[in-house]
Every structure is written in structure tokens, then in C-alpha cells.
């Protein structure tokens, strides 16, 4: 299988760097990220990733806003979104089997392997 | 019409003929003021009581009608006065402009008396109705606020003095040397205060249960003993009806040594049974027996039977609010609250009734599960052996306790509860003196009142926690004392760093029990955070693959701290909070849990705009970054696989 392309959007650059490093070290992923919701949509259109990792709480334009823009843009509206947030606990994710209010979710307090499992579940669907 | 309720109209026109005409039309029903220019009109409006309505000519030299209208709208005190423009037909295209400025209507010249009267009457009525609505709205808001205030008074202000009324009589009684009459009086005082507390609690609790914010705090309760208490309490009612109560447990008649233990709250269970038994006695025919049957099992339940039948019309809505058969003094809340009380305790309630067999109410409780066992402490046991309980607290060294409360009688009460030669009790009346004592002494327990003037409990605990961090002290066991026990307050206490929580009025056995629990449980926490030696520094073990990112990470944090400093200088606590929140997240992800905790502390301080605590926090953060020692773990997988709480890394304090 070819590498899975990911665009990550999180206003905390160190978190983006961390996830990018951890995911790319597995050899299975290519990660691009943006720390600005406004720029995110341009990057998604350019990269056409297999999945978008989206933070919820961001200044200016927050995660759900970005999701709305993605869903309203014909070219990218099919791309699945996985919310990756610290507002959601690992227990929340497990208890709800990864889906809260019809949204795919993962927690920043999960291990990297658990996050990869969530990504694979969604991409392979 | 009397002068008093005559409404005033201001007529503004630069043509005397128009003024005279309008005055003639309106003067019989309204008090008329006149102005010949816009300037004059504004002067009148601002100098004497404002008119109820203004008839305003548009075309006037100097300040025209539009400008007058604009100025009236711009001023809150005059914006509500309805303005009707009086205008020539040729100016009609400007109507829109007038409405935009806030005019309520237009009258065109030449003036028709009928139209003027009709329009003025309509708008006058509208304006009066609106004013009345506004007044009523204010009244409603005020009464809602009043209700809230009263609730707070009952909640807190009444409960605090009650603590002493409840606690002191038994202390006096245990001292002995009293005549039997004095003893009796003291017992009556104690019982009355309990009854009062019960009334306050139950009204507040019902409200909370309805709002689903009641915090169910169960223990093992002997419902059989509670039932016996209720029956004793209701003996007057029973005697009047010549009724008798029979009790059986698992179909056998109960003996005085029997038990029926469930997982519940004793006070709630008491109110619940009192409610249902009172109803049963009232509904029972005279000289009949009322039976209470206890059945043990997976679903322990209690059935209360009487020979009266529930009227047909009430059966379907028996447990609903305001259901009553017209009983004198009945509120229709008895069965409703019973239903709330048992559901809040995780149980259920059901009713069966028929004319032949009478009525049975069955309430099902939660059973005692094995997991709950270690928490079980019968209140009675503790009461009779509080000496032994205290001994449990002071196994190998004398205990030192600090009590912080602005209320002297509360301090005294706790002091008496902890009376023992091996317990040193320090007292403080406010947060500042408490904090000073904490810095110079080592305490086994700190009991800290939440509601104090000046530095309150929450502020005091943040200071203590921050001081502990900065000075790498062992965390103190700090227990919050408060008259409030809603989920919000408890959550706030947890977030602020309190070890535990106890509600006022403080019950002696519950209090000692809490101390014992905390004395045992927090020991391990204390050990894990212990640092020995003088100058500790922090070693963080990081997986090797992050090596390239760490310098950037440290710069990122230092830049973040500068941002926090800048924001504090500008009193911009929102920014402090959001930056801290962000940095807390990445620190925890990289495995710097101590750093994450420090950011979390500053974030909490920013939430309540505690400038000093933020500044102390910044110092602690800088200190941490200066002293932190980072080691890289070569075998990446061995670290990540051993750690499930965060993505990588482990942290130890060494020296």
C-alpha cells in the first residue's frame, strides 16, 4: 500500500511537529501541517490528503469552522476528518468507539499507536 | 380628566398657524407644550419632564426635524419617546429617512383633526403599554433575583450557625454535671436543630434533584433502623388514627436486632420513608394495620401497605407534581418528592392499589455491592468509639492540624471534635494568616473554609499549592469546608487542588471518617512526589527520535513564557490563559508532565485573574526550564510501551 497522506491542522506548532515526526517515522504516512485554519483549506486543496487531522479549539477560525468549509467545498468535501483534541479524553474516545456526535474523534492523551489505529480505521473504511 | 394622569404632547413647528391648529385639536385631551424651533424643542425635552409624545415638523430652519429626531434617538433617556413627523405631501419620499431615524408615524399636511387624534391616541397607548411591560419586566427580574438571594441565604447563611446549634449540645452533654432537666433541654435543642437542618436540606435538595444537580453520596444505610425512627416520630398520628405498624423482614416478623442494609443516603431515606408512611397513615382506615415489609436480594425493596385505596382519578398521576385528593394542608408534593428521592438514589418506586386489597407502595434500593464495602462505616459505630477512631489517626506520631475558618464557633467545634492529647490544633481566622502558618509549619491536615472574607479558600489553596511547587514541598492534605455541596463547587475545589471536601454542618463521625480515609490514601501520592536533598532538578527522559525537536520545543516554551509575561503586563488574562492552555498540551505530549502541571497552575490563576500567582508561576516556569535535565532514551519502544497516559516520556524528580 502506498503512503497515506495526512494534512494536520493545529495552532500549536510543537504538537504538529510531534505528530508529524511520530507518524512519518513509521514509514506509512506523509504529514503536512498548518497552524492556521484560514490557510488550512488551501493546503488541503493542494495536497488532496487521505485524511485531515483537525484540532477543535483554535484562535480565529476553529476546528468545526474548518470542517464546515471543507464540507462545503466540492473538490475536498469527500475527505474524511478526524478531530484530534485535548478536550476529548482517551476514555471518551473508547467509550464512544471513536465517534461522538457523528464525528470521528481521537484524544491527544492517547498513545501514538492508538491514534494510528484510529486513522487506519477511518482511511480503510 | 385630572392633571395627574394627563399625558403631555410636545408640538414642534416653525409656523404659528400649524401650532395653533394642532393645539386646538389636542388640548381637550392632552397637556400641550410647544416649540418653534428644533433647538427650543431639544431644550424643552431636556429641562422639564419629558413629553409622552412629540409631533415634529420636518422642515424647519436651523436644526430640522430629522436632526431633532436623531439627537433624541442617540440619548438613552429620550430614545423611547415616540415621534410623529408632520410633513407636507411633497416631502413624502423622505418618509423612509424619517422611519430610519426612529419616527413611529407620519401625518401629512394639510392636517385632518380626525387623523391626528386617532394616530396620537394609538401611539400614546402603544407607548404606555410598552412602558408598563418594561416596568413589569424589571419587577420580574427583581423578584427572580430576590428568590435566588433567599435561596443563598437558606443555603449558606442559615447552615453555618446551625452547625453550632447541632454540635454544641452533645459536647455540653458529654461534659456531664447537668440536672436531668438541663439534659432534657439540651436534647430538645439538638433535636430541633436537626429538624431545622432537615427542613432546609430537604427543600434545597428537592430543588437540586429536580435540576438533576444533586450529588448522590451513598453509604451503607440500615433502612430498618431508619423506619423505626420514623415510626417513633409519627406516633402521634398513629395514635390519633388508632393504627399500628407491623414490620417484617423477608416475611418473618422483625426483631429489634434485625438489619436491612442498602446503598443509600440516610437523610434522604428518612425523608422518603417519613413521606410515604405519613401518607399511608393518613390514607388508612381507622383501627387498621399498616405493614412495612423488607425483602433482601439483588434488588432490595421495601413495601408499605395500608388498607385504604387511592381514588380512581389519582391513580395514573399518583407520582406527579401537585397530585392531591384535596387533603387539608397537603401540597401535592409528597409522592412527587418521594419519587424524586428514590430515583436520585438509583432506585425506583411503584404503586398498586385496589378497593379490596388496599394500597402498596414498593420502593427498590441499590444493593450493597462488594465494591462499596470498604467505604462502609456505620455512623453509630463511629459515634460510640470516636476515641478509637482518633487513635487510628495517630498511629506513630502526634498529629498536627490547622483549622482555617472566619467563624469562631465553627473553629471551636472542629477543635472539640479533635480533642486529644496527641493532636496539636492550630487555628487561623483568614487565608493570609493560614498561608503564613503553612509556610512555617508542617501539618498533617489543613481544614480550610471556602467562604471567608478577603482571601477565600480557593485563593488560599492556589497560593499553598503554588508555594509547595516552588519550594518543592510535599503537598499538604487540604480539606475544604463549605456550606455548598453542589457539583460545581466540588468541581471547583478539585480543580483548585483540594485533597477532599466536607459539607457544613460538619458531622463528627463523617468528619473523622474523612480524615482517616485521607490519612491512608494520600500517603502513596506523598511518597511519589517526595524529593530529598537540597537543590532538586528535574530529569525528563525523552525518546531518542524526538532529539531534533527538543531544542525547538524549549525555545517554543521560552517564547510562550515571554508572551505570558507581556500579556500579564497588559492585564490580558485571556491571552495568558490560552497560551498556557496551549503550552500545557504540548508539554504533556512531549512527556514534560511537571512543566505541563506548572502551565496548568498559571492557567488556573489566569482564570481568576490572580496576578501575583501568575507572576510566581512564571518564575517557577523559568526556573524549571533553567534546571531541567533531558536524557534521551535510546530504545524508543521500551519507553512508549510502558507508558499509557501520554504519548512518550517519563519524568522523575532526582537530585
pLDDT at B93: 67
With an 8 Å Cβ cutoff, is B586 touching chain A?
yes
Three-state DSSP class for residue B359: strand
Interface of B with A in 187-246 (CB under 8 A): none
Give the residues across from B83 on adjacent strands: B54
pLDDT over threshold 60, residue B125: yes
Split at pLDDT 50, 70, 90, the class of B422 is confident
Least confident of B35-44, B298-307, B321-330, B579-588: B321-330
Cell of B216: 448522590
**Could you read off the pLDDT of A90-108 as tens digits, one per residue?**
888 888 888 887 889 898 8
CB-nearest to A15 from B546, B552, B589 is: B589
pLDDT at B3: 46
Domain with A95 in it: 4-123
Cell of B483: 456550606
Best A8, A11, A12, A62 residue to mutate vs chain B (most B CBs within 10 Å): A12
**E strands present in B38-79:** 53-57
Best B549, B556, B585, B636 residue to mutate vs chain A (most A CBs within 10 Å): B585
Please tell me the distance from the alpha carbon of residue B445 to that of residue B23, in angstroms, as a whole number: 83
Smallest CA–CA separation between A64 and chain B, in Å?
Answer: 18
Q: Which contacts of B350-355 are long-range, i.e. CB under 8 A and separated by 24 or more positions?
A: B351/B310, B351/B315, B351/B318, B351/B319, B353/B309, B353/B310, B353/B315, B354/B309, B355/B309
Kind of pairing between the strands at B358-364 and B301-306: antiparallel
Which residues of A fall within a CB distance of 8 Å from B556? Answer: 13-14
ipTM: 0.87
Three-state DSSP class for residue B91: helix
Cβ burial, residue B611 (10 Å; 0-12/13-18/19+) = middle
CB B218 within 8 Å of CB B366: yes
Contacts of B607 (CB under 8 A, 6+ apart): B573, B577
Mean pLDDT of the region B132-159: 76
Residue B72 CA to its chain's centroid (Å): 43
pLDDT over threshold 60, residue B329: no
pLDDT at A18: 93
Cα-Cα end-to-end distance for chain B: 93
Phi, psi of B97 (to 5 degrees): -60, -40
B123-144: buried (b, 16+ CB within 10 Å) or exposed (e) per residue?
Answer: bbeebeeeeeeeeeeeeeeeee
With an 8 Å Cβ cutoff, is B590 touching chain A?
yes
Cβ atoms within 10 Å of B56's Cβ, excluding its own: 27
Beta carbon pairs, A and B, within 8 Å: 50
Residue A97 CA to its chain's centroid (Å): 17
Contacts of B503 (CB under 8 A, 6+ apart): B482, B483, B484, B485
Interface of B with A in 524-563 (CB under 8 A): 545-546, 548-549, 552-553, 556
**Could you read off the pLDDT of B73-123 as tens digits, one per residue?**
888 888 888 999 888 766 666 777 778 887 888 888 888 888 889 999 999
Mean pLDDT of the region B126-150: 82
**Count of domains for chain A:** 1
pLDDT at B638: 37
Q: Do B585 and A108 touch (CB under 8 A)?
A: yes
Q: Do A18 and B645 touch (CB under 8 A)?
A: no
**Could you read off the pLDDT of B227-277 as tens digits, one per residue?**
988 888 788 888 888 888 999 988 888 887 778 888 888 878 888 898 899
pLDDT over threshold 80, residue B461: yes
Give the CA-trace dihedral at B182, B188, B194, B196, to 10 degrees.
-120
With an 8 Å Cβ cutoff, is B467 touching chain A?
no
Smallest CA–CA separation between B644 and chain A, in Å?
Answer: 6
pLDDT over threshold 90, residue A7: yes
Q: How many helices (H) and strands (E) does chain B have?
A: 23, 21
Cell match 423622505: residue?
B94
- Tell which wins on pLDDT, B153 or B521: B153
pLDDT at A116: 93
CB B556 within 8 Å of CB B613: no
Cβ atoms within 10 Å of B6's Cβ, excluding its own: 12
Reference B483, options B147, B165, B163, B196; nearest CA is: B163
With an 8 Å Cβ cutoff, is A103 touching chain B?
no
Mean pLDDT of the region B467-490: 79
CB-nearest to B545 from A15, A21, A110 is: A21
CB-nearest to A18 from B549, B578, B640 is: B549
Please tell me the distance from the alpha carbon of residue B292 to that of residue B307, in angstroms, as a whole number: 13
Q: Compare all CA atoms of chain A with the CA of B560 and give the residue at the minimum distance.
A: A12
Kind of pairing between the strands at B650-654 and B629-633: unpaired
Split at pLDDT 50, 70, 90, the class of B629 is confident
Which residues of A fall within a CB distance of 8 Å from B546? Answer: 18, 21
H helix or E strand, kind and range, residue B277: helix B266-283
pLDDT over threshold 90, residue B508: no
Highest mean pLDDT among B32-36, B364-368, B557-561: B557-561
Q: Do A18 and B586 touch (CB under 8 A)?
A: yes
Which residues of B fall within a CB distance of 8 Å from A22? Answer: 545, 647
Give the CA-trace dihedral at B271, B276, B278, B282, to 10 degrees.
160
CB B103 within 8 Å of CB B69: yes
Smallest CA–CA separation between A16 and chain B, in Å?
Answer: 9
CATH classification at residue A15: 3.40.50.2300
Which residues of A fall within a CB distance of 8 Å from B640? Answer: 111-113
**Could you read off the pLDDT of B566-576 as tens digits, one per residue?**
999 988 888 89
Highest mean pLDDT among A20-34, B450-464, B473-487, B606-620: A20-34
Please tell me the distance from the alpha carbon of residue B207 to that of residue B337, in angstroms, as a whole number: 10
Split at pLDDT 50, 70, 90, the class of B1 is very low
Residue B633 CA to its chain's centroid (Å): 48
Amino acid at each position: 500500500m502506498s503512503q497515506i497522506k495526512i494534512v494536520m491542522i493545529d495552532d500549536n506548532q510543537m504538537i504538529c511537529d510531534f505528530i508529524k515526526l511520530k507518524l512519518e517515522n513509521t514509514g506509512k504516512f506523509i504529514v503536512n501541517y498548518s497552524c492556521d485554519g484560514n490557510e488550512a483549506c488551501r493546503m488541503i486543496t493542494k495536497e488532496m490528503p487521505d485524511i485531515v487531522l483537525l484540532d477543535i479549539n483554535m484562535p480565529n477560525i476553529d476546528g468545526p469552522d474548518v470542517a464546515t468549509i471543507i464540507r462545503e467545498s466540492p473538490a475536498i468535501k469527500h475527505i474524511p476528518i478526524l478531530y484530534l483534541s485535548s478536550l476529548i479524553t482517551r476514555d471518551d474516545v473508547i467509550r464512544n468507539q471513536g465517534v461522538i456526535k457523528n464525528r470521528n474523534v481521537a484524544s491527544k492523551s492517547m498513545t501514538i499507536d492508538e491514534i494510528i489505529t484510529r486513522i487506519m480505521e477511518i482511511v480503510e473504511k | 380628566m385630572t392633571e395627574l394622569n394627563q399625558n403631555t404632547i410636545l408640538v414642534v413647528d416653525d409656523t404659528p398657524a400649524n401650532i395653533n391648529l394642532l393645539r386646538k385639536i389636542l388640548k381637550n385631551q392632552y397637556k400641550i407644550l410647544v416649540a418653534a424651533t428644533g433647538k427650543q424643542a431639544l431644550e424643552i425635552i431636556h429641562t422639564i419632564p419629558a413629553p409622552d409624545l412629540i409631533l415634529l415638523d420636518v422642515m424647519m430652519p436651523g436644526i430640522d426635524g430629522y436632526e431633532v429626531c436623531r439627537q433624541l434617538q442617540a440619548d438613552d433617556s429620550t430614545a423611547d419617546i415616540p415621534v410623529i413627523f408632520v410633513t407636507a405631501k411633497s416631502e413624502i419620499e423622505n418618509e423612509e429617512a424619517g422611519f430610519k431615524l426612529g419616527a413611529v408615524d407620519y401625518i401629512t399636511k394639510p392636517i385632518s383633526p380626525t387623523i391626528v387624534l386617532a394616530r396620537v391616541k394609538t401611539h400614546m397607548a402603544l407607548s404606555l403599554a410598552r412602558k408598563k411591560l418594561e416596568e413589569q419586566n424589571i419587577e420580574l427580574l427583581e423578584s427572580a433575583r430576590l428568590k435566588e438571594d433567599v435561596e443563598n441565604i437558606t443555603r449558606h447563611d442559615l447552615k453555618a450557625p446551625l452547625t453550632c446549634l447541632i454540635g454544641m449540645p452533645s459536647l455540653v452533654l458529654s461534659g456531664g454535671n447537668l440536672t436531668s432537666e438541663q439534659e432534657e433541654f439540651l436534647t430538645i435543642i439538638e433535636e430541633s436543630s436537626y429538624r431545622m437542618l432537615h427542613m432546609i436540606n430537604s427543600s434545597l435538595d428537592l430543588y437540586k434533584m429536580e435540576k438533576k444537580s444533586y450529588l448522590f453520596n451513598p453509604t451503607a444505610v440500615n433502612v430498618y433502623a431508619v423506619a423505626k425512627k420514623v415510626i417513633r416520630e409519627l406516633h402521634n398520628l398513629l395514635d390519633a388514627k388508632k393504627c399500628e405498624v407491623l414490620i417484617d423482614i423477608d416475611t418473618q416478623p422483625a426483631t429489634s436486632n434485625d438489619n436491612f442494609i442498602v446503598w443509600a443516603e440516610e437523610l434522604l431515606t428518612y425523608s422518603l420513608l417519613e413521606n410515604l408512611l405519613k401518607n399511608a397513615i393518613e390514607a388508612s382506615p381507622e383501627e387498621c394495620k399498616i405493614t412495612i415489609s423488607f425483602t433482601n436480594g439483588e434488588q432490595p425493596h421495601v413495601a408499605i401497605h395500608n388498607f385504604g385505596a387511592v381514588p380512581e382519578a389519582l391513580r395514573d398521576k399518583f407520582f406527579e407534581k401537585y397530585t392531591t385528593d384535596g387533603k387539608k394542608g397537603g401540597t401535592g408534593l409528597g409522592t412527587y418528592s418521594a419519587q424524586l428521592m428514590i430515583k436520585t438514589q438509583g432506585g425506583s418506586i411503584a404503586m398498586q392499589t385496589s378497593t379490596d386489597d388496599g394500597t402498596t407502595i414498593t420502593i427498590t434500593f441499590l444493593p450493597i455491592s462488594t465494591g462499596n464495602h470498604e467505604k462502609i462505616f456505620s455512623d453509630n459505630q463511629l459515634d460510640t468509639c470516636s476515641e478509637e477512631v482518633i487513635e487510628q489517626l495517630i498511629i506513630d506520631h502526634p498529629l498536627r492540624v490547622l483549622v482555617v475558618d472566619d467563624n469562631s464557633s465553627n473553629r471551636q467545634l472542629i477543635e472539640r471534635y479533635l480533642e486529644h492529647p496527641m493532636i496539636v490544633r492550630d487555628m487561623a481566622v483568614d487565608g493570609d494568616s493560614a498561608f503564613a502558618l503553612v509556610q512555617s509549619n508542617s501539618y498533617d491536615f489543613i481544614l480550610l473554609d471556602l467562604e471567608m472574607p478577603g482571601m477565600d479558600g480557593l485563593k488560599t489553596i492556589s497560593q499553598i499549592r503554588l508555594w509547595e511547587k516552588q519550594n518543592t514541598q510535599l503537598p499538604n492534605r487540604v480539606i475544604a469546608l463549605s456550606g455548598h455541596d453542589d457539583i460545581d463547587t466540588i468541581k471547583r475545589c478539585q480543580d483548585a487542588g483540594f485533597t477532599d471536601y466536607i459539607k457544613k454542618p460538619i458531622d463528627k463521625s463523617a468528619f473523622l471518617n474523612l480524615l482517616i480515609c485521607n490519612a491512608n490514601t494520600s500517603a502513596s501520592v506523598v511518597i511519589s512526589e517526595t524529593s530529598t536533598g537540597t537543590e532538586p532538578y528535574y530529569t525528563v527522559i525523552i525518546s531518542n527520535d524526538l532529539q531534533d525537536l527538543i531544542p525547538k520545543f524549549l525555545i517554543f516554551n521560552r517564547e510562550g513564557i515571554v508572551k505570558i509575561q507581556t500579556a500579564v503586563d497588559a492585564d490580558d488574562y485571556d491571552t495568558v490563559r490560552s497560551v498556557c492552555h496551549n503550552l500545557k498540551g504540548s508539554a504533556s505530549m512531549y512527556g514534560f508532565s511537571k512543566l505541563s502541571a506548572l502551565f496548568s497552575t498559571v492557567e488556573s490563576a489566569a482564570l481568576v485573574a490572580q496576578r501575583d500567582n501568575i507572576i510566581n508561576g512564571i518564575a517557577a516556569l523559568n526556573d524549571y526550564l533553567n534546571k531541567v535535565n533531558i536524557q534521551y532514551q535510546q530504545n524508543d519502544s521500551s519507553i512508549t510501551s510502558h507508558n499509557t497516559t501520554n504519548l512518550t516520556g517519563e519524568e522523575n524528580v532526582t537530585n
